[in-house]
């Protein structure tokens, strides 16, 4: 429910195409398809690609990957920032230097109802973010636009949140004030937290928890990530969690060798190979795993 096919830096690629990471669409598409085929062999049929504007979304490249793999790829719309908006939006809309209408919601609705760009690929999920800076003015504009697009289309919302500051609660408060049904919201990166009281408050407010950074152990180690999922399952909350890695098939924003050294389990097969067996050892049942990997995503993505 929270993965990425490509994370790209278009202006870098346009201006310095000889960067060591390199970008050859066909080569990278085949590489990504190979990783998704391995995921398929491990029993996973579908990923939600939460790459939106601000993370280098380029849907034509993802379309090519989809042609090469049998894994279903669900696209998203929204905008990713922890603070200020990109100048195109920052210089337009309410509170900006030049004012005028806010086009964010217009663009999000178009992605959901007509398709992204000229691809014909319709997004199925809305994404917004806030982090350690809290709900900045720029973030709030994105959340308001996402809420508007959600109310117009019914599409579910998923967030990037900062668990250390209990940021999911501020996100819920704002979205609820805008008329969003919190049962249609996934609070992303909730799995970074081991604060059961915080996580149960998010659940009590109606939202799903994105336990979605398995493999990123510098934020929260493997044992803690497994333990909190197992604890919440023991408390009867399997119906309110989804599992993911937040991984990329290719991401030019990080040095791949450094990532492999520091995060050796940060890849698409970690949950299937390592996390699920560890959860079972802690008493999580196959029915609960099915709930988190199949039933909950199906419910979230249902029109």
Q: Does 263 count as an annotated binding residue?
A: no
From CA 175, how far away is CA 173, in angstroms rounded? 6
Q: Does 237 count as an annotated binding residue?
A: no
Give the single-character DSSP code of 218.
T
Contacts of 231 (CB under 8 A, 6+ apart): 196
Residue that has been written with the tokens 């920032």 in this structure: 81
Q: What are phi and psi of 24, to 5 degrees?
A: -120, 110
CA 298 to chain centre: 16
From CA 247, how far away is CA 19, in angstroms rounded? 22
Q: Does 45 count as an annotated binding residue?
A: no
CA 183 to chain centre: 17
Residue that has been written with the tokens 């669900």 in this structure: 74
CB 49 within 8 A of CB 77: no
Q: Does 132 count as an annotated binding residue?
A: no
The binding site comprises 2, 4, 127, 160, 189, 246
The binding site for Zn(2+) comprises 2, 4, 127, 160, 189, 246
């Amino acid at each position: 429910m929270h993965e990425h096919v490509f994370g790209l830096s278009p202006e870098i690629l346009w201006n310095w195409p000889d960067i060591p990471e390199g970008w050859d669409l066909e080569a990278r598409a085949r590489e990504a398809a190979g990783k998704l085929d391995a995921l398929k062999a491990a029993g996973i049929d579908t990923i939600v690609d939460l790459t939106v504007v601000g993370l280098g979304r380029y849907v034509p490249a993802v379309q090519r990957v989809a042609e090469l793999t049998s894994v279903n790829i669900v696209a998203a719309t929204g905008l990713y920032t922890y603070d200020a908006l990109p100048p195109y939006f920052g210089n337009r809309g309410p509170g900006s230097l030049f004012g005028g209408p806010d086009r964010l919601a217009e663009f999000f609705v178009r992605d959901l109802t007509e398709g992204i760009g000229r691809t014909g690929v319709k997004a199925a999920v809305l994404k917004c973010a806030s982090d350690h800076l809290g709900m900045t003015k720029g973030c709030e504009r994105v959340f308001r636009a996402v809420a508007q697009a959600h109310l117009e289309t019914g599409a579910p919302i998923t967030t990037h949140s900062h668990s250390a500051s209990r940021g999911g609660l501020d996100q819920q408060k704002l979205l609820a004030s805008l008329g969003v049904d919190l049962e249609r919201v996934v609070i992303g990166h909730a799995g970074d937290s081991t604060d059961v009281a915080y996580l149960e408050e998010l659940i009590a407010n109606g939202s799903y928890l994105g336990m979605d950074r398995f493999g990123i152990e510098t934020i929260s180690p493997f044992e803690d990530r497994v333990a909190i999922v197992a604890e919440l399952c023991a408390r009867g909350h399997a119906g309110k969690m989804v599992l993911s890695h937040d991984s990329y098939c290719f991401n030019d924003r990080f040095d791949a060798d450094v990532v492999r050294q520091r995060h050796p389990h940060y890849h698409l097969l970690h949950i299937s190979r390592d996390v699920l067996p560890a959860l079972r050892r802690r008493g999580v049942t196959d029915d609960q795993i099915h709930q988190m990997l199949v039933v909950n995503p199906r419910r979230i993505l249902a029109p």
